[in-house]
């Protein structure tokens, strides 16, 4: 499982155990011991999974979950020492994908993560590979950060590369405009929907045969964008 996991947990023992277990499974791991650091990391890194403790020194896990949900559909598992149904239901209501009650086994946590990823169909493409679509019509080389259209290298801007590579790495995922804004800009902009639309338009001019009926950078009406090419 190739995931970039953010662990938000102030108990060092739990944090270290989860970190080292997930690293052994091939995940990249970031951790934070409070809410502020967690939100900073989430903004800077391309986090694909969040494991979130409910009781933190500066904020509650519920508060963090609510903030994350406003900007992202990243899978979230809550860690809770509370066993009251009320707390669990509230966690799920504000957008956590699952919860696990402490003490828990690392194997069980990992199994729950896999279930969520299967359910969301959100298996990540590895970063170090080359992918091609439609008889090499489009080739994306992650290792060298190069994109070819009909054999010719494309000159993508950094923003276009960020958008295209994110869409390709999460082939099942529909990105909202807000998520793309988070990817492209490094801070809290708002009202940048039109800028994203412009990047998408320019990207389509480069990668699509007919930008008016795109086969790669597809629009999902009312939600956002996803990658739609059939891979060979
Ligand atoms: Ca805690």
The pLDDT tens digits for 82-104 are 676 777 777 788 889 898 988 89
Neighbours of 223 (CB within 10 A): 12
The pLDDT-based confidence of 8 (bands split at 50, 70, 90) is: very high
Q: How far apart are CA 43 and CA 183, in angstroms?
A: 8
Cα of 103 to ligand 1 centre, how many Å?
A: 12
Cα of 132 to ligand 1 centre, how many Å?
A: 45
Q: Is the pTM of this model over 0.85?
A: no
Average pLDDT, the chain: 85
Cα of 73 to ligand 1 centre, how many Å?
A: 23
More confident residue, 18 or 28: 18
The pLDDT-based confidence of 146 (bands split at 50, 70, 90) is: very high
Q: Percentage of the chain with pLDDT > 70?
A: 88
Cα of 65 to ligand 1 centre, how many Å?
A: 15
Cα of 108 to ligand 1 centre, how many Å?
A: 19
pLDDT in tens, 101-128: 888 999 999 999 988 887 766 555 666 6
Two structure tokens written together for 60: 């509650």
Cα of 169 to ligand 1 centre, how many Å?
A: 32
Q: Dump strand ranges (E) for the chain.
A: 4-8, 28-32, 49-53, 76-80, 98-101, 130-133, 138-141, 146-149, 152-153, 175-176, 217-220, 224-227
Cα of 13 to ligand 1 centre, how many Å?
A: 11
94 in Cβ contact with 108 (< 8 Å)? no
Residue 7 bridge partners (DSSP):
31, 51
Distances (CA, A) of 1 to 124, 141, 194, 196: 8, 21, 35, 30
Q: End-to-end CA distance of the chain, in Å?
A: 22
Give the pLDDT of residue 41: 93
Cα of 115 to ligand 1 centre, how many Å?
A: 24
Lowest mean per-residue pLDDT among 3-7, 149-153, 226-230 = 226-230
Question: What average pLDDT does range 156-178 have in this prediction?
Answer: 84
| DSSP-assigned states of every residue in 120-177 | HT-PPPPTT-EEEETTTTEEEETTTTEEEETTEEP---HHHHHHHHHHHHSTTPPEEH
The pLDDT-based confidence of 232 (bands split at 50, 70, 90) is: very low
Lowest mean per-residue pLDDT among 42-51, 53-62, 71-80, 125-134 = 125-134
Cα of 97 to ligand 1 centre, how many Å?
A: 19
Cα of 11 to ligand 1 centre, how many Å?
A: 6
Cα of 56 to ligand 1 centre, how many Å?
A: 5
More confident residue, 122 or 51: 51
15 in Cβ contact with 33 (< 8 Å)? yes
Question: What average pLDDT does range 198-212 have in this prediction?
Answer: 95
Residues with CB under 5 Å of ion ligand 1 are 10, 53, 55
The pLDDT-based confidence of 211 (bands split at 50, 70, 90) is: very high
Helix axes of 85-93 and 61-71: crossing angle, nearest 10 degrees: 20
Question: What average pLDDT does range 2-19 have in this prediction?
Answer: 92
């Amino acid at each position: 499982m190739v995931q970039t996991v953010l662990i938000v947990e102030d108990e060092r023992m739990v944090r270290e155990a989860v970190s080292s277990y997930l690293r052994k499974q091939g995940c990249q791991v970031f951790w934070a011991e409070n809410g502020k650091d967690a939100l900073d990391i989430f903004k800077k890194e391309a986090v694909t999974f969040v494991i979130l403790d409910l009781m933190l020194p500066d904020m509650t896990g519920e508060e963090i979950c609510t903030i994350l949900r406003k900007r992202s559909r990243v899978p979230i598992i809550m860690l809770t020492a509370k066993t009251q149904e009320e707390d669990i239901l509230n966690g799920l209501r504000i957008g956590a994908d699952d919860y696990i009650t402490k003490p828990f086994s690392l194997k069980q946590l990992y199994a729950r993560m896999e279930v969520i990823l299967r359910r969301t169909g959100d298996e990540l493409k590895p970063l170090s590979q080359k992918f091609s679509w439609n008889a090499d019509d489009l080739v994306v080389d992650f290792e060298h950060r190069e994109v070819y259209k009909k054999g010719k290298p494309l000159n993508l801007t950094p923003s276009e590369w960020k958008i295209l590579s994110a869409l390709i790495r999460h082939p099942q995922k529909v990105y909202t405009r807000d998520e793309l804004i988070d990817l492209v800009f490094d801070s809290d902009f708002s009202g940048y929907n039109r800028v994203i639309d412009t990047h998408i338009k320019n990207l389509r001019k480069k990668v699509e045969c007919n930008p008016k009926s795109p086969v790669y950078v597809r629009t999902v009406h009312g939600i956002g964008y996803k990658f739609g090419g059939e891979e060979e």
